[in-house]
Amino acid sequence: MKFSILLIVFISLMLFSCLGDETETKPIVEDETGWIKHPFYQHDFKAMRGVFELDNHILTLHDFGYGAKTYHKLEDSVEAVFLNLNVAHYPGKLHKHSDRSFPINEKYLPVSFVELPNTIFVYSLTKPMNPVTAMGGLEIKGEDIDPEFRQFSTLGSSRGNTISLNEDYLFLAYEVKNNNARPLKFALIELKENTEGIGVGVEVVSIQTIDAPQREDLVGNQFLSVISVNDGFIVTTFFSLFKWRFDGTIKEFERDPIDRDGFERYTTSFLINDPNTNVILCAETSTFLDSYYSTDNGETWDILRNFVSNVDFVTLDILNFYNFKGNLYGTYNSQIFQISISPNQLIVNELDNSGLVGNKITGISSYHKDSLVMVSTRSGAFYKPSADFLKPKINDSMGLFSGGF
């Protein structure tokens, strides 16, 4: 009986395999240097939430699950498969939130489902083409993290997801039950892969939780931003800026809440990390408060002084940021921006998006290793030669680089 159930599951998942030509050849690059629409991602697979290169696979995130496609034909194997992420003991179709993507790395894909908003599922990507993978998600309920769990704390769509992934660690922000105060807490969950059994699963090694810093005369707090660094996560809230290391130690930095007029003020801030220069900004959206920068992965912070930028921080906050090939990029709808940060300046240059106009970008990845760049959008995938990726956008009216927005 158990074998029959597994066979049914296998067959049902395989129904999501590529419809049409499954032969994967290297995409043809024409003489033009604009973005070229990939013919493979059509119909139900057009609405893409992200893209990620893994070995000789290109992984694409979709509203229903993920797709895995190999670069070239491998004998006696499936070349492309689209897997609908399911949870075996929950009836009905489960789907992911559609307003944002989820983090992904070489090992894990953590997601949350619309039908189960207070639960996180983590899937192993060690065998991305194996249909059993889509049934092997690790379920982490909110009450497993904290008995007083109320709900996960969310961020604006341009700030990323409430889930952050760094190597074998998940960072989560959540609220707990406490009348109307809804105090904020954070969780750091260590994961490991379990290779026993038919597929590859995921297990929890440990769960650490901490309270967000509070102020005696103010109620609650708000989660604003999180980024990954070499040994942990850096987090900002209304009241704090701190680093939470993998070993559980925390280093907090006190920002000055007194504005330039001498009043106490709390506004929103966000974190940006330029992997090329290793400069991290804690950027205040209000010009009345100081912004800060770090050059040592958040161990120490200094006030930005004599800082020059060709865009203001409020405008910068609408971008979605990507670390791609060791450099920082931002996207807004169909636009792509190359970003460079140093302790005294920030430069944003818009890249050519010929062929992308009208398609909302959701991810950037290498494709066919270093030869091509692919972007996922809500209306399909597009690619171009890597050598042409940094081609700047030309302002038609002035014949100059657009230099931002």
Beta bridge partners of 330: 321, 337
Query: What is the structure's pLDDT at 179?
Result: 60
Query: What is the structure's pLDDT at 288?
Result: 81
Beta bridge partners of 217: none
- 386: amino acid identity, one letter: S
- 370: amino acid identity, one letter: D
Query: What is the structure's pLDDT at 134?
Result: 74
Residue-wise pLDDT tens digits, 31-89: 456 999 999 999 888 999 999 999 889 999 998 889 999 877 555 556 889 988 877 77
- The position carrying tokens 């994967």 is 24
Query: What is the structure's pLDDT at 148?
Result: 92
Higher pLDDT residue, 26 or 297?
A: 297
Report the pLDDT averaged over residues 116-137. Answer: 85
Q: State the chain's mean pLDDT as an integer.
A: 83
Asked if pLDDT for residue 394 goes beyond 70, the answer is yes
Query: What is the structure's pLDDT at 322?
Result: 94
Query: What is the structure's pLDDT at 397?
Result: 40
Q: How far apart are CA 237 and CA 268, in angstroms?
A: 8
CB count in 10 Å sphere of residue 175:
22
Rg (CA), the chain: 22
Q: What percent of the chain has pLDDT over 70?
A: 81
Q: How far apart are CA 155 and CA 97, in angstroms?
A: 13
CA dihedral (14, 18, 20, 25) positive or negative: negative
- 383: amino acid identity, one letter: Y
Q: If 0-12 CB within 10 Å is exposed, 13-18 middle and 19+ buried, where does residue 2 land?
A: exposed
Strand order in the sheet with 108-113: 108-113, 116-124, 138-141
Query: What is the structure's pLDDT at 73?
Result: 59
Query: What is the structure's pLDDT at 16?
Result: 41
Q: What percent of the chain has pLDDT over 90?
A: 51
Residue-wise pLDDT tens digits, 242-287: 999 999 999 999 887 776 766 777 778 999 999 999 999 999 988 8
Report the pLDDT averaged over residues 339-346. Answer: 94
Asked if pLDDT for residue 330 goes beyond 60, the answer is yes
